[in-house]
Structure 1
């Protein structure tokens, strides 16, 4: 170690070496003792900032150890006998150099002379390709046309859409290995390229798009930069994270049960699920054709509309812009999300509040999920029947359930879906329904996600059952975490809904 003229305090070097040894051996107990046991202790890295010893300890216990490395340089700046800044340059065994900066303070603890880390920042070389986000990436992968309304924009394409010369991987390595190379683009992909947008790459998805979390068992969860160490939202997770991180300006995805609206809410983005059938699904891998729709995410509502101007047909039906809030739907969200939506509603002024007969919502959701499962097995069961073990645990559970749905059960569910569709369209009328985009903020990685999925789908199934367009606008809770408010209009009113979103956003 070397540093300025002030002498290095006794015990600091030994404490630092103990820290390094514990880090390389993943001795969580020693590492926890070397970090100050305070709510103000800090640890930051490229994924975000952890505040408080408890958060840091929880992260470390679930990490599985740090990458192997050796110290190249270590510098100490002593501010006084009880405080010092240690900056170390590291060289990773896998290649590349990193850096760590630690603020140490001497306490009354006998362990390691009382020296504790009160703040730390760690940096490692960025990967050439973050495989949590991207399956294939280029600079660009496919250039856009030289002229058009989307020149200068870039697209992260969900790995369900055909891109000429590439495979459709669907988030599953076994499927990808057997998939053919596509000979042409999906229709919507081709339209975006012809409008001048460049394809940045093919972004990760949850397996076969059968999830709302974004925690792919094979490739990991794409990062959520607006809510570090929380799930990104799925199944358009890679597209959403690419946009949120600035890797692309447009995230192309699909929305069956909320796969655009949920990642938009979790990551503070704008997103649209289009009217069912408004855009062609040619070249898009299906999950549940009754509910599958094309959608996209952006960081601004203005660009969201610009993409709509390129992709969407003219609205076939007129409609008003009166907003209606249903308290029973608001009540389905967690208090912090509900409060954020209520605040947004209050800011809009004249919004009608009315009770809707939603006593059948639980029945409607069950029918939605049953028919979705039936269709999912109808389109994927032939391939998956003897390959269920290739799926991650959560998606495997859903497909196993899908395989068990009897035809009579599915037919009964479809009848309920049709009835619910008619009823919801009547209730929406020519107005715009306002409701939370998700039931909660993004859960922490590693938490149980099924209950969150079920709670959120009670909200997202409304647009899915109605076959209606929905735009998610970003909000934030009082705690600063992203959430979203959804605007749902009658089917066919996509352009008008985007115009309204711009005026409100």
Structure 2
């Protein structure tokens, strides 16, 4: 180590002590203030002291480690680069690089990069992965593509884990592929692996308590979105080109919006669900994600039933729906609308809270009917948040479920009548991805006001990526009449052209 400038190593070791003690005030003082301070790691880059401070406050402390080596390269009298080798208590070595600056006699970090030991398998994203896990039996239109399969779909020879270790331990290998998996293999795509899901798919967050939150590279240190969380992150990270999942209350559209992906929830019943673990069969649908619209459409050719040639129809936006989103997301949707030929129409949404309550009641009733027997004997093996959702579901009476079903049926007719032969434009989610550690229930409730419309209607819904003025991904959602999935895919390919 070259001779460091006076006071630098005192500041370096003060930083290390503060990091191990999770002393947030000291860490804030030891990182330079202002919007240009940088901190990067494998999950992405944080820009500005405010973002860095918020990240530290939410993560609950850094992994335990010790400094093995530290080297200083003096850049100028008041600037120096420190490169340190770290050894983690849990095993493996990492490295951190820090650019320090002295101002008013005090040293502070202006830029830092942290690298931890790379896992052989990122178990936040994957349950099992191969090179590939399953080869396509022959070439086809999807040859060269790879699929991340949500851990609800049967993959022959492998268990369905459903996001829960106890469920996985009791499962037996599947004798055959789910139809959706088989169709993609027949089209020439390889199965890259089986990707994580939220527990029994009863969540929209992606924050699996057993395996961790899959990373969101488009919005570092924010949640991935669930329950098709692992598949979405695998696609966003470039580990796979296609993410296969399900959408009951928004589990394709939410991760697509949070991670800047294209994602389609297909018409209810359009793609067979045999070989897929159910949640709420009245609303469960197959969906998929991709990084570009053209591939999303090619997947549709493999999965969707034949249909008439796509036809272009009018787009309509409802200001009341846009206003349900946070201002930054609403503004992004309005900018997209302003750049396209979209008409505006008011819609009396006074019944929307009633529709959502009925949707959630019927979904809960069916979720308990699907899994209540298992949940009742494995409650201690579940994430408290998901367990609480199932406990509430267990209290839904048959009378309440029947009343909810009646309300849903009437709402379905109203929604389908309003959409008609048009394409409805609305925000895919109510907000950008929340930071990891933030309260999620309010975000879930707000987003489901938007996502429940397609769920109740049994309609195809496609999320296409846009960006807020702050640079975070969100989604514009296009909703059409039942069976018009291919129209949405063709329209999105047209809209996505530069």
**Alignment map for 1:68-217 (pairs within 5 Å):** 68-108=64-104, 114-217=106-209
Q: 1:49 Cα shift? A: 2.1
In structure 2, what is the equivalent of residue 296 of structure 1? 288
**Alignment map for 1:89-488 (pairs within 5 Å):** 89-108=85-104, 114-315=106-307, 321-349=313-341, 351-488=342-479
Evaluate the alpha carbon distance shift between residue 76 and residue 339 of structure 1 in structure 2; reply closer, same or farther with a 3 A threshold: same
In structure 1, what is the equivalent of residue 51 of structure 2? 55
Q: 1:456 Cα shift? A: 0.7
SS at match of 1:8: coil
Does structure 1 residue 67 correspond to structure 2 residue 63?
Answer: yes
Q: Output the CA distance in 1 between the equivalents of 2:432 and 2:17.
A: 37
SS at match of 1:443: coil
CA contact (8 A) 1:315 1:494 kept: no
SS at match of 2:474: strand
SS at match of 1:412: helix
Evaluate the alpha carbon distance shift between residue 71 and residue 275 of structure 1 in structure 2; reply closer, same or farther with a 3 A threshold: same
**Alignment map for 1:19-34 (pairs within 5 Å):** 19-34=15-30
Alignment equivalent of 2:42, drawn from 38, 43, 46: 46
CA contact (8 A) 2:59 2:437 kept: no
Q: Output the CA distance in 2 between the equivalents of 1:31 and 1:477.
A: 29
Gaps of 5+ in 1: none
Q: Output the CA distance in 2 between the equivalents of 1:41 and 1:451.
A: 31
Q: Matched residue pairs, number?
A: 496
Gaps of 5+ in 2: none
SS at match of 2:263: strand
Evaluate the alpha carbon distance shift between residue 455 and residue 103 of structure 1 in structure 2; reply closer, same or farther with a 3 A threshold: same
Q: Output the CA distance in 2 between the equivalents of 1:254 and 1:299.
A: 17
CA contact (8 A) 2:310 2:486 kept: no
TM-score, normalised relative to structure 1: 0.94
Q: 1:95 Cα shift? A: 4.3
Q: 1:187 Cα shift? A: 0.7
Task: Report the RMSD for the aligned CA atoms in angstroms.
Answer: 1.8
CA contact (8 A) 1:320 1:431 kept: no
Q: Output the CA distance in 1 between the equivalents of 2:318 and 2:56.
A: 43
TM-score, normalised relative to structure 2: 0.96
Q: Output the CA distance in 2 between the equivalents of 1:318 and 1:300.
A: 19
Q: Output the CA distance in 2 between the equivalents of 1:318 and 1:246.
A: 30
The CA deviation string for residues 250-274 of structure 1, in whole angstroms up to 9 with x for no partner, is 0000000110011000000001000
